[in-house]
Amino acid sequence: MNECYYDKRMDFFYNQTKTDTVDEWTGPQLIVVLCFGTFFCLFIFISNSLVIAAVVKNKRFHFPFYYLLANLAAADFFAGIAYVFLMFNTGPVSKTLTVNRWFLRQGLLDTSLTASLVNLLVIAVERHMSIMRMKIHSNLTKKRVTFLIISIWAIAIFMGAVPTLGWNCLCDITVCSSLAPIYSRSYLVFWSVLNLVVFFIMVVVYIRIYMYVQRKTNVLSSHTSGSISRRRTPVKLMKTVMTVLGAFVVCWTPGLVVLLLDGLNCTHCGIQDVKRWFLLLALLNSVMNPIIYSYKDDEMWGTMKRMICCSSEDKSQERRSSRIPSTVLCRSTDTSGHFIEDGIIQGTICGKGDLSDKGNS
């Protein structure tokens, strides 16, 4: 019967796999990684908080796609927390960690990355359902969307906890991974292949959307009677799809391939030299998601700008309230407004948002 090493610290397992974390995580390379990591995490926290706040604030976003978008932002926000925890528990500190603390460190990363990936897949399916039916939003009910969100996090938490539940090498150190010294190599193969399969499914879905949008674009462009908005929407969708595909391929594929090679026990692949850079690259996907799914959406970007603008204007108006008529405040109390075309409205960004919101409420 194999001996188990639950009471050992991580230096025992790092020595078994001949991984010298002290040499690898010191000097200029460590400073660069920490600087980039800190910047990325700050951006993740701020940008994804704005996305969630925009979905909550703007009633036009109370649809299935935007609920899933807010959940994606929450997953990316969680990824930032996981990476902050990693930065404080890496380098020379890694060897001093207990087994449970190391499981927590990696479990947070696995949970956050899985949640982001599954979110992207669900959003892809939702977009496919909507576009194929020529609708802006799918027919998913709030109950179904809530069930999907709960399922996403259940899957993510389960995948992050699988090694802790027993799929590890604590009782058989001969099958330990070099990148994750207490993870079984078989688990790394399973996890990387599973994610690559999900990635392939996403590619197929988005290619189908792209081909459909391209075909519809050609049809609409040959009919001058079609509305301008109907002709512009497919073009925007094509650009978004290509951006999503490119970002996901660049950010995820290298890391998944490295994990797969480590699981296959490739000792001459130089995976230790690139692991931290590919980790940053995977984190970059959480940085890019709010840009791709939110900032490219004019309404989302406008809502976030109005929140920032109104916040700053409210502060300045408090200082100048005695000299500014109440009729020019961002928040109007008149509830009898009518729809006004965006191009007609003049004035501040906040004023545009409020008139538009009243007209569509």
Cα dihedral 339/344/347/350 (nearest 10): 30
pLDDT tens-digit map of 295-307: 677 777 888 888 8
Give the pLDDT mean for 97-114: 91
pTM over 0.85: no
pLDDT tens-digit map of 143-156: 889 999 999 999 99
Q: What does pLDDT average to over the chain?
A: 75
Least confident of 96-105, 249-258, 345-354: 345-354
- Per-residue model confidence (pLDDT) at position 221: 61
- Per-residue model confidence (pLDDT) at position 137: 63
Least confident of 83-97, 156-170, 226-240: 226-240
Q: What angle do CA 215, 221, 224 make, to 5 degrees?
A: 145
pLDDT tens-digit map of 329-349: 333 333 333 322 333 233 333
Give the pLDDT mean for 287-313: 75
Task: Tell me the C-alpha distance between 25 and 275, whole Å.
Answer: 11
φ and ψ at 98, to 5 degrees? Answer: -80, 165
φ and ψ at 4, to 5 degrees? Answer: -100, 150
Instruction: Please list, in sequence order, all residues whose beta carbon lies within 8 angstroms of the beta carbon of residue 269, skipping any fewer than 6 positions away.
Output: 258, 261, 262
- Per-residue model confidence (pLDDT) at position 259: 87
What are the tokens at 174?
A: 């001969």
85/238: higher pLDDT: 85
Least confident of 17-21, 109-113, 199-203, 282-286: 17-21
Least confident of 53-67, 94-108, 145-159, 261-275: 261-275
Least confident of 103-112, 120-129, 157-166, 225-234: 225-234
Query: What is the Cα gyration radius of the chain?
Result: 24
| 82 SS3 class | helix
What crossing angle do the helices spanning 99-132 and 142-165 adopt, rounded to 10°? 150
Instruction: Please list, in sequence order, all residues whose beta carbon lies within 8 angstroms of the beta carbon of residue 295, skipping any fewer than 6 positions away.
Output: 301
**Which residues lie across from 168 on neighbouring strands?**
183
CATH number for the domain whose boundaries are 10-222+233-309: 1.20.1070.10
Task: Tell me the C-alpha distance between 111 and 33, whole Å.
Answer: 22
- Per-residue model confidence (pLDDT) at position 329: 35
- Per-residue model confidence (pLDDT) at position 309: 80
* Residue 353's pLDDT band (cuts 50, 70, 90): very low
Whether 241 and 209 have beta carbons less than 8 Å apart is answered as yes
Task: Tell me the C-alpha distance between 116 and 134, whole Å.
Answer: 27
| 159 SS3 class | helix
- For residue 90, the surrounding DSSP H or E stretch is none
